[in-house]
Amino acid sequence: MILSCSNICKSFHEKCILDRISFHLEENDKAALVGINGVGKTTLLRILVGELEADSGNVAIAKGKTFGYLKQNAETDEKTTIYQTLLKVKEPLLLLEEQIRQTERNMHGASEEELNTLMELYTGLTHAYETGGGYLFRSELIGVLKGLGFSENEFHTPVHTLSGGQKTRVALGRLLLEKPDLIILDEPTNHLDMTSIAWLETYLLNYKGAVLVVSHDRYFLDKIARKVIELDQGASASFTGNYSQYADKKEELRRNAWKAYLKQQQDIRHQEAVIEKLRSFNREKSIRRAESRQKALDKLDKTERLHKPQDTDAEMKLSLHPEIISGKDVLSVSGLRKSFDHKPLFFDLHFEIKRGEHVALIGDNGTGKTTLLKIINQLTEADEGELRLGTNVTIGYYDQAHQVLHDEKTLFEEISDAYPYLDNTRIRNTLAAFLFTGEDVFQKIATLSGGERGRVSLAKLMLSRSNFLILDEPTNHLDMISREILETALNHYEGTVLYVSHDRYFINKTAHRILDLSNGTLTGYLGNYDYYLEKKQQLSPETTSPTSSLSSFGHIPVTSAAKSEWKQRKAEQAIRRKKENDLKKLEAQIQLLEDTISDIDVRMQHPDVCTDVSELQVLQQEKEEAEESLLSLMEQWESMASFREEG
């Protein structure tokens, strides 16, 4: 066991946030901490790492074990570059490198006696360097930076000049390279694009230590979690499995709780009817029987009466019906091009959207997804191309900046002023669906956090009479319950939807079709995110062009030059992948030999062996042969690893 959390309690302003929270993590556990916004997840993490003191309870980390903690917005203002900041993590190896080089310099001109001493020192230093990963840490560092979405052109950018999201990615990279026994991550995917999130999933899955993560990215949790710790109304419960398995189990428990509650209510009503009937007989024997039954019922009230289960869907189920039905052709885009500072963002885009389609626009950060949405919504002009909206199409637009809100208004006024025909119940129910209940509806917009403003904007859009919803990252800042409400609402929506999202679980639940914007062009896939992944893995430059999957709803023309460039890029990527695979195989062989040599050293020190000269000679011969093979492999590695620096 690496972490034990026992009976943790915490209150703020006499309000209990955490009530006797208990769970534990084993050394290789991959666990998710889930619960609605405000339930105390971040508070619990801060208690676990010692940033906040619990009112009562104990947190214990196994002796000699280390942990690393990534906050939601873990910014760093280092004056060094991105590369140098992460390189500091490997300072012990850098120190060993310098000691090795200094020892090599000292060997020149040394006497025989001094040389023997230096050779012993040199052997110890190089052994420590090898076992500490000295030959691999630079390539590992580069791999982490690229995995987190930094290009090599950004490696030498000073950290203090980066955006908040970029600084958080630097902090995450530094934490991963530190390799603590327990990694604690609070919303690590917030500032990552899909490619980087997929990389992080693989990294954490293969991580030798334990991981505890808070995230609203349910797809991410499905991939990495093998245990789910739930916080609900101050209490905790642990479930085996990933997020979907946890959700299924929760639904089963909820159904069973409702069945038990309804059965007990039925039994209570039956007993009350019997008691009333017995009393109506007005006889001594029947009255005694009625009193006996009443005592049993009173006892049930005190000890065994079940509380009505909380139904997360009971407050509100959004129903979205466009007031006006649009024509069959909702949007047609042809020849669209956009550049910034003379650098092309995308070019020659062609696609169509039909009535009733739910289309997800995906792609890495910086590919132009939000710009494309703004062009469609006529907030930004394209450099070239044509965009046509169909008959009776009315757009409802949700943007990440939430610019449609009025700071001086309350939440209730924001909705009621925009939609004066709605009654109070409809307004309150809609706000409740996005977690604004009771007196919350009378807060001023100006007092809300970014996440709360996003929820109000989304609630406002859901009530509009639009028949074409354009949504830019609609699930950002929503907790899991709100996301599920939005998913249900969109799946029952009879209009048309185009949205940008990094939430792969959300895309899986709501998308009919996917447009992948990368390298300045669009590729289309009929299906949800899992189908997109499956098809993308099947596609290869030898058999399929990047536009072939658009055949069922229109092609994206690609010039001969673009095709040639694409093929060349794919060929280079294939060569690089082969080199990378060969290098990984070589590194695995090196690791195997290093383990063999370490194993021989351990065997040579065993009491039964170190006194047996013949056995020692055999082991020494094995060790020399292994070291000779290792030296040969290291020479191959040095020549092959250079392509990483070149790439």
Q: What is the DSSP letter of 26?
A: -
549 has a pLDDT exceeding 50: no
Which CATH number is correct for 44-245, 3.40.50.300, 3.40.50.720, 3.40.50.1100, 3.30.1300.10? 3.40.50.300
Q: What is the pLDDT at residue 587?
A: 77
551 has a pLDDT exceeding 50: no
The token duo for 206 is 């293969």
> Residue 496 in contact with residue 330, Cβ under 8 Å?
yes
Determine what percent of the chain is predicted with pLDDT higher than 90.
36
> Residue 423 in contact with residue 463, Cβ under 8 Å?
no
CA 438 vs. chain centroid, Å, equals 32
> Residue 225 in contact with residue 212, Cβ under 8 Å?
no
The token duo for 215 is 């995230």
Q: Exposed, middle or buried by CB within 10 Å (0-12, 13-18, 19+), for 184?
A: buried
Q: Which of 1-10, 250-259, 432-441 has the lowest mean pLDDT?
A: 432-441
* CA triple 91-93-97, angle to 5 deg: 115
Give 504-543 pLDDT, tens digit per residue.
999 999 999 999 998 889 999 998 999 898 888 777 544 4
> Residue 79 in contact with residue 159, Cβ under 8 Å?
yes
Q: What is the pLDDT at residue 401?
A: 60
How far is it, in rounded angstroms, from Cα 101 to Cα 144? 27
Q: Which of 82-86, 416-420, 542-546, 583-587 has the lowest mean pLDDT?
A: 542-546
Determine what percent of the chain is predicted with pLDDT higher than 70.
89
| Integer angstrom CA distances of residue 629 from 4, 133, 140, 618 | 45, 18, 23, 17
> Residue 75 in contact with residue 171, Cβ under 8 Å?
yes
Q: What is the pLDDT at residue 113?
A: 85
Half-sphere exposure of 441 (CA within 13 A, CB side): 20
Q: What is the pLDDT at residue 319?
A: 60
Give 376-404 pLDDT, tens digit per residue.
988 899 999 999 999 999 998 887 665 57
How far is it, in rounded angstroms, from Cα 195 to Cα 113? 57
Give 462-515 pLDDT, tens digit per residue.
788 789 999 998 887 777 877 887 888 888 888 899 999 989 999 999 999 999
> What average pLDDT does this structure show over 210-223?
92
Give 144-194 pLDDT, tens digit per residue.
999 998 988 899 999 888 888 888 899 999 999 999 999 999 999 888 888
Q: How far apart are the first and last CA of the chain?
A: 42
How far is it, in rounded angstroms, from Cα 437 to Cα 294? 38
Q: Which of 386-395, 432-441, 552-561, 589-598 has the lowest mean pLDDT?
A: 552-561
- Which residues, 6 or more positions from 412, have their beta carbon under 8 angstroms from its beta carbon? 427, 428, 431, 441, 442
Question: Hey, is 338 helix, strand or coil?
Answer: strand
How far is it, in rounded angstroms, from Cα 379 to Cα 372? 10
Q: Tell me, what amino acid is at 573?
A: Q
Which one has a higher pLDDT value, 440 or 616? 440
Q: What is the pLDDT at residue 270?
A: 81
How far is it, in rounded angstroms, from Cα 445 to Cα 465? 23
Q: What is the pLDDT at residue 311?
A: 57
Report H helices in 330-479: 369-376, 411-418, 424-433, 450-462
Question: Hey, is 230 helix, strand or coil?
Answer: strand
Give 291-320 pLDDT, tens digit per residue.
888 888 888 766 777 877 765 444 445 566
Q: Which of 128-132, 360-364, 370-374, 613-617 has the lowest mean pLDDT?
A: 613-617
> What average pLDDT does this structure show over 411-416?
93
List, as one string, the DSSP characters of 55-105: SEEEEEE-TT--EEEE-TT-----SSBHHHHHHGGGHHHHHHHHHHHHHHH
> Residue 405 in contact with residue 456, Cβ under 8 Å?
yes
373 has a pLDDT exceeding 80: yes
How far is it, in rounded angstroms, from Cα 511 to Cα 410? 34
- pLDDT tier at 281, thresholds 50, 70, 90: low
What H or E segment, with its residue span, contains residue 507? helix 504-510
- pLDDT tier at 279, thresholds 50, 70, 90: confident
Q: What is the CA radius of gyration of the chain?
A: 31
